[in-house]
Amino acid sequence: MSGRRFFVGGNFKMNGNKSSLDDIITNLNTVNSPETDVVVAPSPLYLDYVTNKITSQVKVAAQNCYKAAKGAYTGEVSPAMLSDVGVNWVILGHSERRHVFNESNELIGQKVKHALESGLSVIPCIGEKLDEREAGVTEQVVFEQMTFIKDNVEDWSKVVIAYEPVWAIGTGKTATPGQAQEVHEKLRKWLADNVSDDVSKSTRIIYGGSVNAGNCKELAKGKDIDGFLVGGASLKPEFLDIIKANA
Ligand SMILES: O=C(CO)COP(=O)(O)O
């Protein structure tokens, strides 16, 4: 056993309203998986709503935040504001932030730094696009993304890395357990070589990209796969099965 607690995140993306969130919360409030960390990330508008209704066994994350505590940044949310409403986790550098909203490695690094300094735990996301995988540069891409993250982290106990190959997100095309494990193993070695053995052994690396109730058990067998970041299936009752994938 690795000693790394299984971790399952649900990224609701820009989905849900009060009524559908109520259904999801009712379902999640039946969760009984004390050995697993469960975190859900609703739209920022509903963070307070979900935080107030969900069982304390499930933590709440933001899907993004800015790199400053306050100021003239129209439309942005700060880590200080998240803490103020009881949200202690944030996803940063998600593929949609990188590729739809053009967030750079530099900006993501700055956000990671500020969020950690503000006391949040972070889930930085990395992953290659299809053309990059086909060109054989997956490692190069994810290692470069990791470098910008690493340079901004002091306390790795507050970091869960999410490997999400862009070509597997929302496409129904999951990485095979072998493909996912291969990259996770390389990322763990990268952590050993570039940070420390301790950090490599203790940091959770979770997989995201079309995870569902049908494929989660096989994926969870990968020795370097410490859980999942789930999109579409986290909005459905099957999310509970994914939470129990390693049981
Ligand atoms: O982007 C994801 C989670 O952050 C994955 O999304 P899907 O599970 O919908 O492919």
Q: Which of 96, 103, 128, 164 is catalytic?
A: 164
The DSSP result for 12-24, as a single string, is --S---HHHHHHH
Q: Using 50, 70 and 90 to split pLDDT, how confident is the model at 2? A: low
Residue 55 belongs to some domain of the structure: yes
**Total domains in the fold of the chain:** 1
In a domain, 200, yes or no: yes
On whether the pTM is more than 0.90, the answer is: yes
Residue 33 included in any domain: yes
Q: Which tokens hold the place of 101? A: 């909203």
The ipTM estimated for the assembled molecules is 0.99
pLDDT, one tens digit per residue, over 101-125 is: 999 999 999 999 999 999 999 999 9
State phi, psi for 7 to the nearest 5 degrees.
Answer: -135, 125
pLDDT tops 50 at residue 225: yes
Instruction: Determine the atom of ligand 1 nearest the C-alpha atom of 91.
Output: 4
Q: Is 96 a catalytic residue?
A: no
Residue 61 belongs to domain spanning? 6-244
Q: What is the DSSP string of 24-44?
A: HHHHHTT---TTEEEEEE--G
Residue 1 is assigned to a structural domain of this protein: no
Probe residue for ligand 1, chosen from 211, 215, 236, 241 as the CB with the greatest number of ligand atoms within 8 Å: 211
CATH of the domain at 64: 3.20.20.70
**Residue 89 and residue 51 in contact, taking contact as beta carbons nearer than 8 Å:** no
The DSSP secondary structure of 91-129, one letter per residue, reads EES-HHHHHTS---HHHHHHHHHHHHHTT-EEEEEE---
Å from CA of 5 to ligand 1 middle: 21
Distances (CA, A) of 228 to 14, 79, 86: 19, 23, 23
Q: What is the pLDDT of residue 142?
A: 98
Expressed in angstroms and rounded, the spacing between residue 203 Cα and the centre of ligand 1 is 21
Whether residue 68 lies inside any domain: the answer is yes
Helix (H) or strand (E) holding 230: strand 227-230
